[in-house]
Structure 1
Amino acid sequence: CIQAPLLPSSISASTQFNGEPRSYTRFNLTQNMEGENSQVEMKLSSDMDEEVGGNGVGEDLNHAKEPYVVHKPAGRTPKNVCFMVATVLLIFIISYLIGYLSHRKTELAPPSCSRSTFEESITEDSVKMEVDPLMDWKDVKSLLDQKMTASSIESAFSEFASESHQAGSAGDMELANKVLGRFKQYGMHTWTDGHFVKLVDPPASGSNMVTFKGSDLGELRGYLAYSKTGTAKGAVLHGNYGQMDDLGKLQDKNIALDGRVLLVRSGKISFAEKVANAAKLNASAVLIYPAGDRQLGGSTQLFGHVHLGSGDPYTPGFPSFNHTQFPPVQSSGLPSILAQTITVNMAATIMKGMEGTTAPAGWVGVGRLGDDKDMVTVEVNNVLSEKLINNVFGVIKGFVDPDRFVVMGAQRDAWGPGFASSTVGTSVLVELARAISDMVKNDGFKPRRSIVFASWSAGEYGSVGATEWLEVRTQDKNANLRTTVFLLVSQPMISIQCLQKVFTPLYFSHIVMEPLRLNDPAYPFITFSGIPSVSFRFTTEGAEYPYLGTLDDTRDKLYGATSNQVAKLAVSAGQFAGKIALRLVHDHLLHLDVEKYIRQIRTHVVAINSKIQKLQSVLPKLLSVQWLISATGSYSRAASSLSNEIDNSNLEDVEMCRNINDRIMSVERDFLSPYVSPRETPFRHILVGSGSHTLKALSDHLDALQNDQSDADADLFRIQFALATWTIQGCANSLAGEVWSIDNMI
């Protein structure tokens, strides 16, 4: 038998409060592998000095030679009994006082925290509520509607309107301090997140220049951040909107883009995508002018960026902090060719002098495509500079799961006045913070999860502030629920049922779902960090607000475009965004539908399977879609099983709800391919991301193999195919939950 006395620290209280020795107790355990009965004898003896040395190890290691003696308890004297009674009463009084003070601390704890880090602001002084803090959802909606008013929005417009607040400027910092002050005024815990990032300014002296057939087209104030600098000269060629389909039509006419200066109009896709498409086909430069349907003035200048990514392109995949000395590196999304915006009048001058073949049918407003004699020279002299930007945060902590949170964010900077692009969003964000804080303080609303309000900087340069914050938080496993609210775009994970419950059927009938675009501020949240995201916008059918990205985005222009309904629309925007966020922090279980992706995955799998069948002569005979189909089935079964588990769940079980919500939140994160580098391929989501790892890229690669393109590689396709299959299977395994629930047939 094995004898194991307790450590001295474990028995000191017994020795002190009762000066008598204790006997040890024998515990029988299960049989050992040889079939014998193992026994552990645990000795609770106060006479440790006789058997144990100062480090807790017996001084005489030959235990078998000297058996332990079982002592009988000594008699209890009146003195000992009185001492024990006094001790018990003292412990009871101390315990009662601790419990009372803890209860008072719970009632009086302020909604803010004292320390400045993100983790501390979410978790410090957090309270696990024993009583369900649920308020009826109808009452929550009604309270928010009452507190969001046009008059308060108008007041916020006046406070946050600014003629100049470009990222990293004094105007940007002034607005940041105003937002910070508002958050503090509402009693929220606040903090800032500073980054030194590489931003681009126009030339310090002189300007960029474009000449056509030797003639200068005029002053260029607009520019494209992160364009390659230098000079390029080539024959101009019209490329419509610069989409790959447009450029394909040029190739169908046997027109090569090598060395040409591509003239394209804005719209359809981002500036960065236009430039990247041109670079793929070896163009030397790109000129972008406002599309005719924007109805801008002939001399209106355009501003934007051409980084095919998000965040600081000189610290790709990792955050920019205080001049940290990283090795020289830059994003793979930086363009290799020059890019510059021009005005409508400048574009008209070029197009009038262009010759060559007639434009393809459907290219409205485009006459001739241009020939080899239509020479254009583009000179870009933009200046790269390092600037400090600051994101501003305020938090309303949850009462049940304070470390699970929703992020509501808005862009704060702009190229010019930026009334629509930044002032309205910032005003709505601040007013939502005021309304929800007031609901918590004065109306008894207790959100289950936390709400983080974020004011991002450097959004005009490609969501730099938001992405840098994400890069800091990317390793945080507790950031389980975030959603950014900017424009009207929905992801499959955002349930139609959730939106129906937010607004009335009348409102819902006017909601149009769109896929996220690369230039959408919510795009990096889902594709880089795997955070379910939704953004939204208000628009008139068939018309877009034309002044974004220009210096004409002013209060007067926006009021004119909306028939003076800006405040009313802003209230609606706040109510819409607020109700989505409040629903996500109100309910026991998140209204995110994991089954929405089943159809999308199957659509890709069916297309891939069909193309593989047609390419059996090119691909290895052993290549089968069976494992991809099996992984899809695993995800489908895991999603259906979770939905059934949700239907049969006990909402009063806090830990069970937390576990289910964590599994729901893991889906988007698990769709990020673990097999590609965040530095080289930041948008790693295999369904809505971009890169060779996506299911769409697999399908496109099969098209390239079928067309015998030079960049097609059957062996590379097999590798990409296998990695995509395992990404889907890994997501299914994570969604299944416990290890014994995994359906792994691969």
Structure 2
Amino acid sequence: MDQARSTISKIFNGEPHSYTRFNLTQNMEGDNSQVEMKLSSDMDRETGGNGVGDHHNYNSNCNPHVAQKIERTPKNLCFMAVATLLIFVIGYLIGYLVHEKKDLVPTCVASKVPFDEVVAVETGAAPLMNWEKVKKLLAEKVSADKLDSVFSEFSSDNHRAGSPGDEALGEKVLNRFKEYGMKTWTDEHFVKVQDPPASGYNTYHYKEKEEHPEGFLSYSANGAVKGQVLYAFFGEEKDFRTLRDHNINMTGKVMLVRAGRISFAEKVANAAKMGAAAVLIYPYPSDSSFGGTTELYGHVHLGSGDPYTPGFPSFNHTQFPPVQSSGLPNILAQTITFDMANSILKELGGPDAPEEWVSSNKLGSRNDVITVNVNNVLREKKITNVFGVFKGFVDPDRYVVIGAQRDACGAGFAASTVGTSVLVELARSISDMVKNDGFKPRRSIVFASWSAGEYGSVGATEWLEGYLSSLSMKAFAYIDLDGVVTGQNYFRVAASPLLHGLIESTLKEVTSLNKAVTLYSEFAKNNLEANVLEPLKLDNAAYPFLAFSGIPSLSFRFTSGNLDYPFFRTMLDTRAKLNLATYSHVPDLAAIATRFAGHMVLRLVHDHLLRMDVMKYSKIISSRVSQINNKFNSVLRVQPHVLPKALTMQWLMSAYGSYSRASSKLASDIQNSNMDDIEMCRILNDRIMTVERNLLSPYTSPRESPFRHILMGSGPHTMQALYSHLEALKLENPEADANLFHNQFALTTWTIQGCANSLAGDVWALDNEV
């Protein structure tokens, strides 16, 4: 048979007497490439047979385009007859052999699955599993008993960032992710952090008494300072303004402030603006079990990530020049215990503290002199972030990220153990749904275990800096699990406005400790913004995702009140203390937190369109523009000479109008689009994803102002800064600068306009008045 096939091949596959030209054309509408074939003999007739045009001369000894005639001699006719007979015989033999082989092939039994049953096909709008079933499955997978066992596995008394304990926990998380069938990887960074001095403590000397607090604040300036102690309540901006209004000079002073309300870094930055030389921070125990000797730990970097690699990642062997974050303080900062602070406060002289501080303390006199010594040690540590992913079935390159910090200064049960346990347990639940229940997420879910969270979201921020160019186009949301259980009386959520609608619907679907009611019924009570929503603060791990990277982010927690959990950043953050704060309901509350986070994640990867409300930002921008306009007109009435004559509010109002129209147009496009069209859904989702990213000011340096979001960030580029600058111009504050305001006004306006342009979609769809 092989010989027969070879003979036939030689007969039909010899050198051609005429050549074929192929013209490949790409169909730009998305169809398969088409092949246009013309025989050269036809082309010769079209061109007159002269070979002019696209043809190439393949053989210089003969013209390939001219078919040679075969003479019909008796000899040739005989050869043709023999060849025809040979072909017939070979064909008969091939047919006979094929028939014999067919008889030897066993016949298949009838399939148990009828052919008329149609298998469901995944499309852009119709999931294989409806949402009600997804909710039910998640509720079945998550339980308090399972979480209780996970707590035991991930509890540790010593897991400071970069330590063997931190690495061991990371390995446990990684092994769990692998066990659940996730694709896993790790991300290493070499970061610089400050640890206590080799002696184990810094010191201060007050009225012939020296103290050695064991707590410390990473990233403080080092050195020794001697100056008057001055009490400044919580160290907020308004507290320092109160002191200034009482004609109290703060230059060179050592400020004594209470912990709470704002971050340690903000307290130190506020004091530095007033010319203070150092800050002492002490806890004010709201819990009787706190103890007067409890030490505080933390950091004072007004930013996130490694402050010695601002704006770029701290990968090993990077060759960036040595720089420092503008958020590093240039004054000393140190924590002291409540007992230490109380002994200082009792001996302070000077004027009484303001009545609004609800305090019987004195502010301090020139005789209340203190000397502070800080000698922290800067060290480089290797930290490891751990990741796992469930890939989506429709848009695998679009993903939601859910993460929790793994490290802590002590046991860190509320700060890190609960969040890590919820992360791992949610990964197990979704893995079970995918493997055993047929759930297929449209988009991918990335699980992240961060290190060095105690130093200011260092692990998370370094990852953002390392992969920002790809994350900004693919990561559409971040959900943070740090500190999700610190009490049980209230439920608080801090998030991007784009997610407020999804938050509300999720609250209505997840039940509370009282199984008869939902979280919405118990906590929101028809007023989500007043009862549940709160600002996303600088020291929240979700903040850099939103304000630095432009990724819609969310953080939530069960809490006992408006005050922070008192045992955060102390060695007392243990399971026993959290049991006291939650009446031993930690596993139950963690299970609810797991379901809440799971509902958010699964809804974002289940629906054909991302559940994000772009109209929400339209309301916020409108409110900010109105505030700035009112303040602008007020300045014109009082101090018209301080503003450039050519400057008007019309430009900013027009930019807002462009965003409003673009967001309305997107809503209209969604209503008029075919949701079964996967590509159409992807285009609409990409337009939604541009909003947060394009509210980052492109005109600011991440080193000087890393949180570039003009609405949720911080710095002179924000709309809040524009309002404050106008107030300073009105009061003719020496620090106010009309030209600088004009420049920031223009850049902020164009940032809003650029966001509107991006939201509108195609360049021909723009509807601008600017």
TM-score bracket for the superposition, by shorter chain length? 0.7 to 0.9
SS of 1:190's equivalent? Answer: strand
Matched residues in 1 for 2:298 and 2:650: separation? 45
Show the counterpart of 2:99: none
SS of 2:137's equivalent? Answer: helix
Residue 275 (str. 1) matches residue 268 (str. 2): yes
SS of 2:624's equivalent? Answer: helix
Map 1:493-642 → 2, pairs under 5 A: 493-501=498-506, 503-504=508-509, 506-509=518-521, 510-511=523-524, 512-542=532-562, 544-616=564-636, 617=640, 618-642=642-666
Q: Which of 16, 21, 38 lines up with 2:18 in the alignment? A: 21
Show the counterpart of 2:188: 194
Show the counterpart of 2:446: 452
Shift of residue 598, structure 1, vs aligned partner = 1.0
TM-score (norm 2): 0.82
Show the counterpart of 1:300: 294
SS of 1:287's equivalent? Answer: strand
Map 1:137-536 → 2, pairs under 5 A: 137-205=131-199, 207-216=201-210, 218-295=211-288, 296-476=290-470, 478-486=473-481, 487=484, 488-501=493-506, 503-504=508-509, 506-509=518-521, 510-511=523-524, 512-536=532-556
Moved more, 286-295 or 312-321: 286-295
Show the counterpart of 1:739: 763
Shift of residue 551, structure 1, vs aligned partner = 0.2
Show the counterpart of 2:680: 656
Shift of residue 46, structure 1, vs aligned partner = 9.0
Q: Is the 8 A contact 2:353 2:359 kept in 1?
A: no
Matched residues in 2 for 1:609 and 1:399: separation? 48
Matched AA of 1:557: K
SS of 2:498's equivalent? Answer: coil
Matched residues in 2 for 1:176 and 1:330: separation? 29
Residue 702 (str. 1) matches residue 718 (str. 2): no
SS of 1:538's equivalent? Answer: strand
Moved more, 729-738 or 74-83: 74-83
Shift of residue 215, structure 1, vs aligned partner = 1.4
Q: Is the 8 A contact 1:225 1:461 kept in 2?
A: yes
SS of 2:504's equivalent? Answer: helix
Q: Is the 8 A contact 1:22 1:71 kept in 2?
A: no
Matched AA of 1:728: I
SS of 1:495's equivalent? Answer: helix
Shift of residue 565, structure 1, vs aligned partner = 0.4
TM-score (norm 1): 0.85
Q: Is the 8 A contact 2:225 2:278 kept in 1?
A: yes
Show the counterpart of 1:113: none
SS of 1:315's equivalent? Answer: coil
Q: Is the 8 A contact 1:51 1:59 kept in 2?
A: no
Moved more, 198-207 or 682-691: 198-207
C-alpha deviations, 1:440-492, integer Å up to 9, x for none? 00001000000011000000000000000001111115424231223531221
Shift of residue 436, structure 1, vs aligned partner = 0.3
Q: Is the 8 A contact 1:490 1:534 kept in 2?
A: yes
Q: Is the 8 A contact 1:240 1:263 kept in 2?
A: yes
How many residues matched? Answer: 669
Matched AA of 1:339: A
C-alpha deviations, 1:110-156, integer Å up to 9, x for none? xxxxxxxxxxxxxxxxx997995431111111111111111110111
The structure whose Rg is larger is: 2
Relative distance call for 1:294 and 1:315 in structure 2 (3 A) is farther
Matched residues in 1 for 2:184 and 2:717: separation? 39
Sequence identity of aligned pairs in percent?
57
C-alpha deviations, 1:73-102, integer Å up to 9, x for none? 99999799999xx9xxxxxxxxxxxxxxxx
Relative distance call for 1:446 and 1:23 in structure 2 (3 A) is closer
Shift of residue 52, structure 1, vs aligned partner = 10
Matched AA of 1:261: V
Matched residues in 1 for 2:692 and 2:241: separation? 34
Q: Is the 8 A contact 2:716 2:722 kept in 1?
A: yes
Q: Is the 8 A contact 2:41 2:65 kept in 1?
A: no
Matched AA of 1:516: L
C-alpha deviations, 1:642-680, integer Å up to 9, x for none? 112122322210001011111111100000000011122
Shift of residue 405, structure 1, vs aligned partner = 0.5
Q: Is the 8 A contact 1:294 1:544 kept in 2?
A: no
Shift of residue 365, structure 1, vs aligned partner = 3.2
Matched residues in 1 for 2:715 and 2:50: separation? 69
Show the counterpart of 2:104: none
Moved over 4 A (4+): 15-18, 22-27, 41-44, 50-53, 56-60, 67-83, 127-132
C-alpha deviations, 1:190-242, integer Å up to 9, x for none? 110000000111111252001212311x3311100100011111101111111
Shift of residue 732, structure 1, vs aligned partner = 0.2
Matched residues in 2 for 1:189 and 1:24: separation? 48
Relative distance call for 1:621 and 1:574 in structure 2 (3 A) is same
SS of 2:224's equivalent? Answer: strand
Q: CA RMSD in A?
A: 3.1
Q: Is the 8 A contact 1:196 1:323 kept in 2?
A: no
Shift of residue 543, structure 1, vs aligned partner = 5.4
SS of 2:370's equivalent? Answer: strand
Shift of residue 327, structure 1, vs aligned partner = 1.0
Moved more, 280-289 or 359-368: 359-368
Q: Is the 8 A contact 1:499 1:580 kept in 2?
A: no
C-alpha deviations, 1:8-54, integer Å up to 9, x for none? xxxxxxx9699353687999xxxxxxxxxxxxx99654999x9999x
C-alpha deviations, 1:337-372, integer Å up to 9, x for none? 000001000010100010011111121234110011
Matched AA of 1:227: S
Q: Is the 8 A contact 1:463 1:521 kept in 2?
A: yes
C-alpha deviations, 1:361-404, integer Å up to 9, x for none? 12123411001110011111111100000000011111100110
Shift of residue 615, structure 1, vs aligned partner = 2.5
Q: Is the 8 A contact 1:134 1:586 kept in 2?
A: no
Matched AA of 1:503: K
Matched residues in 2 for 1:73 and 1:448: separation? 64
Relative distance call for 1:190 and 1:354 in structure 2 (3 A) is same
Matched residues in 2 for 1:385 and 1:57: separation? 71
Matched residues in 2 for 1:297 and 1:310: separation? 30
Shift of residue 744, structure 1, vs aligned partner = 2.7
Shift of residue 621, structure 1, vs aligned partner = 1.5
Q: Is the 8 A contact 1:20 1:46 kept in 2?
A: no
Matched residues in 1 for 2:51 and 2:539: separation? 70
SS of 1:535's equivalent? Answer: strand
SS of 2:181's equivalent? Answer: coil
Could you tell me which runs of 5 or more consecutive residues in structure 1 were left unpaired when the two chains were aligned: 1-14, 28-40, 61-66, 87-126
Could you tell me which runs of 5 or more consecutive residues in structure 2 were left unpaired when the two chains were aligned: 1-11, 25-35, 44-48, 72-79, 95-120, 485-492, 510-516, 525-531
Relative distance call for 1:232 and 1:406 in structure 2 (3 A) is same
Relative distance call for 1:17 and 1:447 in structure 2 (3 A) is farther
Relative distance call for 1:506 and 1:72 in structure 2 (3 A) is farther
